Amino acid sequence: MEQYIEIKAVNPDSLLFYRMGDFYEMFFDDAVTASRALGIALTKRGKHLGQDIPMCGVPIHAADDYLQRLIQLGHRVAVCEQMEDPAEAKKRGSKSVVKRDVVRLVTPGTLTEDSLLEPRRNNYLLTVARARTASIGEAEAFALAWVDISTGEFRVAETDATRLAADIARVDPGEIVVSDALYADQELAPFWRTFKAVSPTPRDLFDGASAERRLSAYFGVRTIDGFGSFSRLELMAAAAAVTYVERTQLASRAPLMPPVREPSGFAMLIDQATRANLELVRTLGGERQGSLLSAIDRTVTAAGARLLGSRLANPLTDPAAIAERQDAVETLVAASTLRAEIRARLQSAPDMARALTRVAMGRAGPRDLAAIGQGLVAAASLADLVASETAGELKSAAIGLAQPDPGLARLIASALDDELPLLKRDGGFVRAGHLADLDESRSLRDESRRVIAGLQTRYAEETGIRALKIKHNNVLGYFVEVAQQHGEAFLKEPLNQTYIHRQSMAGAMRFTTTELGQLEAKIAGAADRSVRLELSVFDDLSNAILAASDAIREAAAALAVLDVATALATLAVEQAYVRPLVDMSLAFSIKGGRHPVVEQAIARSAPFVANDCDLSGSDGKAGSGGRIWLITGPNMAGKSTFLRQNALIAVLAQIGAFVPAASAHIGVVDRLFSRVGAADDLARGRSTFMVEMVETAAILNQAGARALVILDEIGRGTATFDGLSIAWAAVEHLHEANRCRSLFATHFHELTALSKRLARLHNATMRVKEWQGDVIFLHEVTDGAADRSYGIQVAKLAGLPSSVIDRAKRVLSELEATDRAAPVRRMVDDLPLFAAAPRPLPEAAKPDPALDLLDGFDPDDMTPREAHEALYALKAKRQALRKP
């Protein structure tokens, strides 16, 4: 317990996995927390300060599963291993404690094991550094550094306060590391708390004075000038990343690649709200299924899936780079046989990048070595297949595939068996015939009886004593036993030169030989020696792999590129996608555009209705800027789908993919904004309308001429005329100030009047038909404006009670009558209709005989008896009227 408490004191923020034999044990508060999180039994072990010590544990062989669950719940885990054999500890005394120490801190951003990672998704650790501003009003500068230690990827970039959230969103990190001061900043504190895994750290991690020295030391170079030019702020973030990796990995060094600086503006900037609204990589419910990534992913390798996800998160803004990707896809679309052969060979390519990292960090198993060998074989076969291809990325991929030495793959294949254990300590992974000493040890270990029997037969033949036996006991070990009469001969020459007397018994004598003694020693240590020899082979293979790590990384990257190119080509052929023209104009002309996700979702039930969209602006001319389409029409008619599909087509075009359209010409979009849907943010004290306004404010304050903006139902979350006024002003601002390409869907039909004075505003509407009181949605976009929203018809389809529908129709009739009789601005006088509880409108009075009877009564002239009789008469009349 002393040792445990000492180690725990050094790692107070982590659950301590304390190795005890075949279990990781946890004590005190850690045990209580872990038992609750993992659903395992909480027991006790001994006492501390007079109180029972809570304890729980998990078996070593299943530790990864428990680690995964703890990490997903936001916990950090310190893994404390036994640093010596318990037998060594006993040599110091019977009560000596085995030496233990923490060998690794497991955090959400520092995972390497396949069992803890999602194979088809990167797991980034992100560090954020901030530069204090020297003057009031100057924008704060930030730098980001992100690493995926499972693959070695390492990137840095600068940003500012207005882009910080968007840049973090595109990285989509598994863990964010910031300084204590930045985490406690009053303005940013609510922002950090929106992320699941944020780790505040001491300021020394972000020390700018030592940043360059720490980076140089990590990569073993005298200067980092050879890696490129970095700002002081970028160096701070990069140094923080490598230092955090060092402090969490402890016993091993993560093989990170040198940092690569991403230039500002190289990718389309998409903020977190837009990514969520467009469901790029996951749905609003957090699921991958139903997202754009799920719809377009045809990759067959984990590395290819990760690369596709990365590209989708970072659409390019350089038309030349986009065209290079498109060229490769176009070539593979045309070459169906080549495409099919590449995909068939890619299926045998394991995840070399992650396997290589585990080899470098000493966490690999035999299957990781085999994975690298199989990947190299696949790379070599694909290198021959695409060697003559020169289109776009295919040329660079062919070069990368040819980098590794083919001899390494042959060495791995010859050394490793076909059936491999998960852990190297289990042994049994080296192929028979690879190492003679190992084969001998295995033979002794596995066939000792046969070996002894063979030796016995040989001794019997050499001595001519057929009754000679080789036996074993715990005192003598292995020995030769012969009858008394034969034993006398063994004591004389020449047999006494070979056979050494050990024991005489009544009727028998026992001897040994030098050969038998050596064989006994070999048999006794055969199992241990077999494991040692196999581990030696493992180390030799690992060293050979690490010596070729650069070439292996290039081949792994080339395999991923080839996988993405063939996957996008397969998608284009399956779904009839076309190559878009992407240039630096302000064009946005899409003919027959389709929603890539919805189209696949409804493929079995109905064809998707394609629609055109033209937001093209005129470059460099008076009044230049993108067009705004103002789209009106009923709910359920397809406005939101139309908005989203055009944004998604732009994203697909700029990742180098083909797009779901008959044709497309898109001028590069540098920023994509989307304000679609309704949701509150209770954790930050924001109502639905407040969230809507915050997102709208971000758009109107940041969108430039090259941006693409899609807005859906701005102003619907407040009073009618407040909302109409906000939407009206927003449209004017988009037209006059932002001058960007925009799609603006609304139910405020009054906004269509703006087209008369805003030159680049175009009215479009969703076509519908009415049939026998019902509305039929045609999902077609056409020129013009809607004159009604068909909300009541949609409410009827949703199943609202008929009484509510009827009441709504009557209210609508009155409101429309009022609207025709007076200007729109006077509708406010009629709003009290909605302030009271629903009630039937007054109807024309009908004759009531009971009421007519009252007309004949004069209360002033009636006696009490007459009044009493009158009440009975009224009651009788009412009862008569109620009878059918």
pLDDT digits (tens, 9 = 90+) for 296-322: 999 999 999 999 999 999 999 999 999
- Mean pLDDT calculated for residue range 511-536: 86
633 annotated to a ligand binding site: yes
**What is the share, in percent, of the chain residues with pLDDT greater than 90?**
55
Sheet holding 508-512, edge to edge: 469-473, 477-483, 508-512, 500-505
Q: Which two tokens stand for residue 527?
A: 């199992």
Rounded alpha-carbon distances, angstroms, from residue 722 to 678, 688, 689, 726, 789: 17, 15, 12, 6, 19
Residue carrying the six token digits 């915050």: 694
Predicted confidence (pLDDT) at residue 432 exceeds the cutoff of 70: yes
Dihedral of alpha carbons 349, 354, 360, 364, sign = negative
pLDDT for residue 838? 43
Long-range CB pairs of 460-469, under 8 A, 24+ apart, other chains included:
463/489, 463/490, 463/495
Position with higher pLDDT, 528 vs 78: 78
For residue 198, the model assigns a pLDDT of: 92
Name the percent of the chain lying above pLDDT 70: 91
- pLDDT tens digits along 698-718: 899 989 999 999 998 887 767
Q: How far apart are CA 697 and CA 439, in angstroms?
A: 73
Q: Where are the beta strands (DSSP E) in 132-210?
A: 141-148, 153-160, 175-179, 198-201
- According to the annotation, is 636 in a ligand binding site? yes
How do residues 171-202 score in pLDDT, each as one tens digit?
999 999 999 999 998 888 888 988 888 999 99
Q: Which helix (H) or strand (E) holds 818?
A: helix 802-821
Reply yes or no on whether the pLDDT at 557 is more than 70: yes
Cα 403 to Cα 380, 542, 547: the distances in Å are 9, 18, 13
Q: Does domain 116-264 have CATH number 3.40.47.10?
A: no
Listed residue (102, 93, 153) closest to 124, CA to CA: 153
578-788 belongs to CATH 3.40.50.150: no
Closest CA to 157 of 124, 200, 203: 124
Q: Which amino acid is at 443?
A: S
Q: Does residue 834 have a pLDDT over 70?
A: no
For 715, other C-beta atoms within 10 Å of its C-beta total 26
Over the stretch 150-168, which tens digit does the pLDDT of each residue have? 999 999 999 998 899 999 9
Query: How many other CB atoms are there within 10 angstroms of residue 245's CB atom?
Result: 22
Identify whether the C-beta of residue 282 lies closer than 8 Å to the C-beta of residue 288.
yes
Listed range (86-90, 492-496, 838-842, 869-873) with the worst mean pLDDT: 838-842
Question: In this structure, is the dihedral angle defined by the CA atoms of residues 513, 514, 517 and 518, taken in order, positive or negative?
Answer: negative
Tokens of 69: 């669950």
Distance CA 629, CA 615 (A): 7
pLDDT at position 840 is 43
Q: Output DSSP code: residue 46.
A: E
Query: Half-sphere exposure of 143 toward its Cβ, with a 13 Å CA cutoff?
Result: 22
What's the pLDDT at 51? Answer: 86
113-136 burial: b if 16+ Cβ within 10 Å, else e: bbebbeebbbbbbbbbbbeeeeee
Answer whether 173's CB lies under 8 Å from 164's CB.
no
Quick: pLDDT tens for 30-40: 999 999 999 99
Task: Give the Cα separation of 566 and 77 in Å (integer).
Answer: 40
DSSP tag of 738: I
Average pLDDT rounded to a whole number, residues 432-461 = 87
- pLDDT at position 624 over 80: no
Q: Tell me the mean pLDDT in the region 275-282.
A: 92
Same topology for domains 316-434+548-574 and 444-535, yes or no? yes
Write down the pLDDT at residue 568.
98
Please say whether the structural domain 444-535 has been given the CATH code 1.10.1420.10.
yes
Query: Which residues, 6 or more positions from 181, have their beta carbon under 8 angstroms from its beta carbon?
Result: 203
Q: Where are the domains of the chain?
A: 2-106, 116-264, 316-434+548-574, 444-535, 578-788, 800-834, 849-882
- What's the distance, Cα to Cα, between the start and end of the chain in Å? 90
pLDDT attached to residue 839: 41
By DSSP bridging, strand 100-106 and strand 77-82 are: antiparallel
Is 13 a residue whose pLDDT tops 70? yes
pLDDT at 807: 81
Report residue 647 as tokens. 């944004």
Of the listed ranges 258-272, 340-354, 437-451, 629-643, the least confidently predicted one is 437-451
* Higher pLDDT, residue 87 or 319: 319
Which one, of 168, 148, 171, lies nearest residue 245 by Cα? 148
216 is in an annotated binding site: no
In this structure, is the dihedral angle defined by the CA atoms of residues 172, 175, 177 and 181, taken in order, positive or negative? positive
Characterize the bridge pairing of strands 269-270 and 671-675: parallel
Burial of 144 from C-beta contacts in 10 A (0-12 / 13-18 / 19+)? buried
What is the model's pLDDT at position 55? 94
Per-residue confidence (pLDDT) for residue 620, from 0 to 100: 53
**Residue 424: pLDDT above 60?**
yes
- Is 637 a known ligand-binding residue? yes
CA distance 125 to 149: 8
- Give residue 835's pLDDT: 38
Question: Which pLDDT score, from 0 to 100, does residue 379 have?
Answer: 95
pLDDT recorded at residue 851: 66
Distance (Å, whole) CA 462 – CA 450? 18
Distance set, CA 728 to CA 4, 732, 747, 752, 791 (Å):
67, 6, 12, 10, 21
The two beta strands, 269-270 and 500-505, are unpaired
Q: Are 40 and 34 in contact (CB under 8 A)?
A: yes
Q: Is the peptide bond before 494 cis (omega within 30 degrees of 0)?
A: yes
Residue of 232, 25, 58 lying closest to 142 (CA atoms): 232
What is the average pLDDT value for the chain, to the nearest integer?
A: 87
CATH code of 2-106, in short, is 3.40.1170.10
Is the model more confident about 113 or about 770?
113
Model confidence at 683, pLDDT cuts 50, 70, 90, reads very low
C-alpha 375, offset from chain centre = 24
User: Rounded to whole angstroms, how far apart are CA atoms 109 and 126?
Assistant: 8
Place of tokens 């038309």: 319
In the DSSP assignment, the letter for residue 343 is H
pLDDT-based confidence at residue 115 (cuts at 50, 70, 90):
confident
Topology of domain 316-434+548-574 in CATH is: MutS, DNA mismatch repair protein; Chain A, domain 3 (1.10.1420)
pLDDT at 829 over 50: no
Chain-centroid distance, C-alpha 240:
23
Question: SS3 for 589?
Answer: strand
pTM: 0.82
Q: Which conformational region is residue 46 in: left (phi greater than 0), alpha (psi within -120 to 50 degrees), or beta? A: left
The half-sphere exposure of 513 on its side-chain side, counting CA atoms within 13 A, is 18
